Every structure is written in C-alpha cells, then in structure tokens.
Amino acid sequence: MRTKIFAITALVLAAAALLSGCYVTKEASAFLALQSKARPVKKLLADPKLPDSQRDLLERVEAIRAFAIGTLGLRDTKNYTSLVELDADRLATVVQACAELSFDRYLWNYPVVGRLPYQGFFDPKDADKEAARLRKEGYDVLVRGVDAFSTLGWFRDPLYSFMESYGDADLADLVIHEMTHATAFSKDTGDFNEEVATFVGRRGAEAWLASLGPRGETELEEARESRAEAETFAAFLAGTAAELEAMYRLDLPTDEKRSRKAAIIAARAATYRETVAPGLKLEGYRDFAMERINNAWLDLYRLYEGEPRLYEDYLDRVCAGDLPRFIADMARIAKEKGDPKDAMRAALAAD
C-alpha cells in the first residue's frame, strides 16, 4: 500500500489546461512530447524481451480496462493502451488556492470544460511560480503531485513506467478514476466531477479485486481498510472545515479571524494526534502533520471527498447497489442542464 497521502485522491490534471492561455504553449509542448514517446501496449506485449515488471503492469491494466469497460460500463476511449518511459515518480504538479479567510476557491478558466479549481504544470518550478503569485495575492495555496490525468477522450492517455510499483488496488483505482472522468463529466461542476470519479474509482477497484477470487482477497481487505481510514481522515478534515467556516461567517476584524483560524487549526491538530491518529494503521494518515493544513488543503478534500453519503445513498437506494447502473446514471445526469448533485437529490427524494 502506498503511503503518499494523495496517491488516490489527487489524480486529475484537466485536459483543458493544455488548450488556452499563454502558459499553455509550454505545457502543450511538454504534453505532446510525452505523447510522442508513447508505445502501444499490444506491440510491447508481443516483444519477448519486454522486462517482466513492465509486462506485469501492462497485463494488469489490460485486465482492469476490460473489466471497467465490459463489466462497469465505462467509456472505451483507448486510454491506457500505450506506455511512456518516465524518469520521475509523478506526472505533473497541480496548484490549488482558496481565500485566506473563507473557502472561496480560486478558479482558472478553460474552454469547453469551463472553470476549474486547479491548474497543472509539467515543470514543478512553473507550479512554484504560480503558487508564489497566488500567495502574494493573499491566497492559501496547495501544491501537489499527480500520478495521472484525464484528457476526457480527446487524446489517448498513456500509462507511465513509474506505475510498475503500484499494487492491484491502487492501479485499478487510478485507471477507473480516470476512465470515469471520460464517461461522466459535467461542465463547470468540479465538485461533482471529482467526487463521482473518486467514488467510482474506489468502488470499482474493490469490484475488480473481488472479481479476482482468492488472488484478490488480501488486497481487497486492505483496500476496504484503506477506504475506511480515508473516510475517517476526510471526516475529520470536514469537521475542521465546518468549524472554520462558521467562524469565517462571523462579523469580526480580519486580524481576529486570523487569530481564531490559527487557534482552531492548532486545537484540531492536537485532537487528531490524541484521539484519531492512534487508531489509524496507514502511516500517511497516522503521522499526518495536521497543524500544517490551510484552507486550500482542506478544500482539496472538500473537492474530492465532498458528500460521500450522497453517492452511497444513490447507489444503494436508486440503483439497488448496482454499480454499472450507477455509472450509467451519472453519465446521463452529467449531460443534463443544472447541477448533477441536485438531480441526484431529486431522485433520492422521489425514491
């Protein structure tokens, strides 16, 4: 099990980031350079000299894709049918930002997909420059690495060589998460897009592991434990955000709000160390430095974790636990006018 905290929750770099704006010239060039290095999986598997580690990765992804398309009903965009050798442990670096004393997100404007709460860079130095600009303007900022991104079917998204080390659970979660973006994507609704991909990625990975029979039992049990700890961690962050949000709404001087913000984060960090962390097994959660969080960090979890109960209820009550039906509903709802989450709530109310 990887312990990097964003291994599963932070995987998206919007394809639209390659399509407009001055900064894109460099990003698009880097993206196309990666595309040019991609080698087809079928040709690689036909090569008897292919290293065992790469063969294992490609065969597992082929099986995961077949399951995701044939069993779950995710869109076949030919993604993950090629491989890029990459001498790095991440694909790109993403910047997110929030106001210092509210959870008002900084949004970047893109064509086609609209406004999104992140901007990605292939060169970490460029991400650091954007982060410095935003901090200078007074924003809370988060800079994070991502393992993969989805171009929503516009290009064939490749696999990367650093994925060889991923276990079945992490690999299936990553592939299914990104395939969900290409299946159910709603313009200008970043919350829904990330929440549904996170939910389907986790549940789809567990379904894949279950399909492996005895071979997948150990990783399935670990994946469920990991999901439980991720939910505990996210719930604690949600509680912290709720306390801060209530304080931000008060009519207080700016300096007083800053002081209270620091006090709330310090108190929550102490509570986490004393009452939550001791019950967690995964090192990334157990040893997390909660005192270092800011609004942008908290908003990352608001974006990706959001309202898990809404998705669970919809799966259980509207779809009778049928994940392929759930995915089909999400793809349909994403194309309709209005907020997809409002449509989900209406369906639950009717049920």
| pLDDT over 80 at 22, yes or no | no
Do residues 295 and 140 touch, judged by C-beta distance below 8 A?
A: yes
Q: What is the pLDDT of residue 149?
A: 66
For residue 146, what are its two tokens? 């991502």
- DSSP symbols for 197-212: HHHHHHHHHHHHHHHT
pLDDT per position as a tens digit, 263-292: 999 999 999 999 999 999 999 999 999 999
User: By percentage, how much of the chain surpasses pLDDT 90?
Assistant: 58
Q: Is 149 helix (H, G, I), strand (E, B) or coil?
A: coil
Burial class of residue 237 (count of CB atoms within 10 Å of its CB; 0-12, 13-18, 19+)? buried
pTM recorded for the entire structure: 0.76
Question: Where does the pLDDT of residue 131 fall: very low under 50, low under 70, confident under 90, or very high at 90 and above?
Answer: very high
- The span from the CA of 334 to the CA of 316, in Å, is 19
User: By percentage, how much of the chain surpasses pLDDT 70?
Assistant: 87
